[in-house]
Amino acid sequence: MIEYSACSLKGSERYTNEDCVMVANRVVSESVINGCVDRGIVAVVCDGVGCSNGGEIASRIVATGFMKFDLVSASASSLMSYISQLNAEVAQRQNQQQGTQDMATTATGIILWEDCYFVFNIGDSRTYEFCNNKLSLLTKDDTVENEDSYILKPTYLCKRDALTRYIGGAGCFCYPRVTRNFVVERECYFLLCSDGVYNVLSERDIETVLSGEESLTEKTKTLLNLATQKGSTDDKSLVLIKCIN
């Protein structure tokens, strides 16, 4: 069984929420949603680039685009191809809508089918795994500080750490990372979140919440409230998934 809970909150100093979240074919808004599925799930968290007009458009195109993804036939190559198609959709919208020529978004997601899962990311949104009371980061931020060589790469300097990969934008830097793995523990969690969450929460903060006795919905609320208490003014989005084999 797979249980999920998710929420996306506009930052206190933002005019619009440039994050967009989709889980189990449901687009997430300001209220916490929850549910469960039997065998498989697709979840995506996108964070529109804050300095570009249309960041919220780009994030929604990508997040909602995964509502049509066939999780049963998921593979690394199919995911790479699908993200490339979504990148083309963002580029098409850029050409059609004035003032959005530089719009871009990050994306991180999980495709879980029975005991196999794929994790992908591009940009600096993150996916974590929590098993046996230990939190592990499954993705790598596409930022200048994480690149071995970035001299020739354009970046979005308005982000806290300049992005070196993204979907959309002025350049062609849509190179997602995709990994495949298996759920080996009887019970584990996956946490997908934007930087408005993890920038202020330590791994210990997250481990403490996830190891507690609260329901999945309450854990989601606790993480978001804690991020706000610790000073996050950015948009805050997360998906929390619990798998029981």
Q: How high is the pLDDT of residue 133?
A: 92
Which tens digit of pLDDT belongs to each residue from 24-46? Answer: 999 998 889 999 999 899 999 99
Tokens of 64: 């909602």
Q: Is the pLDDT score of 172 beyond 80?
A: no
Three-state DSSP state, 237: strand
On whether the CB atoms of residues 86 and 20 are closer than 8 A, the answer is no
Which tens digit of pLDDT belongs to each residue from 77-131? Answer: 999 999 999 999 999 998 888 878 888 999 999 999 988 999 999 999 999 999 9
Buried-state track 129-151, b at ≥16 Cβ within 10 A, e below 16? bbbeeebeebbebbbeeebeeee
Tokens of 136: 């592990």
Domain boundaries, the chain: 2-244
| Per-residue CA distances from 192 to 86, 99, 172, 176, 217 (Å) | 20, 30, 25, 16, 14
CB count in 10 Å sphere of residue 181: 12
Q: How high is the pLDDT of residue 149?
A: 46
Rounded Cα–Cα distance for residues 118 and 105 (Å): 20
Amino acid at 104: A
DSSP strand pairing (187-193 vs 236-244): antiparallel
On whether the CB atoms of residues 193 and 237 are closer than 8 A, the answer is yes
**CATH fourth-level superfamily of 2-244:** PPM-type phosphatase domain (3.60.40.10)
Rounded Cα–Cα distance for residues 218 and 216 (Å): 5
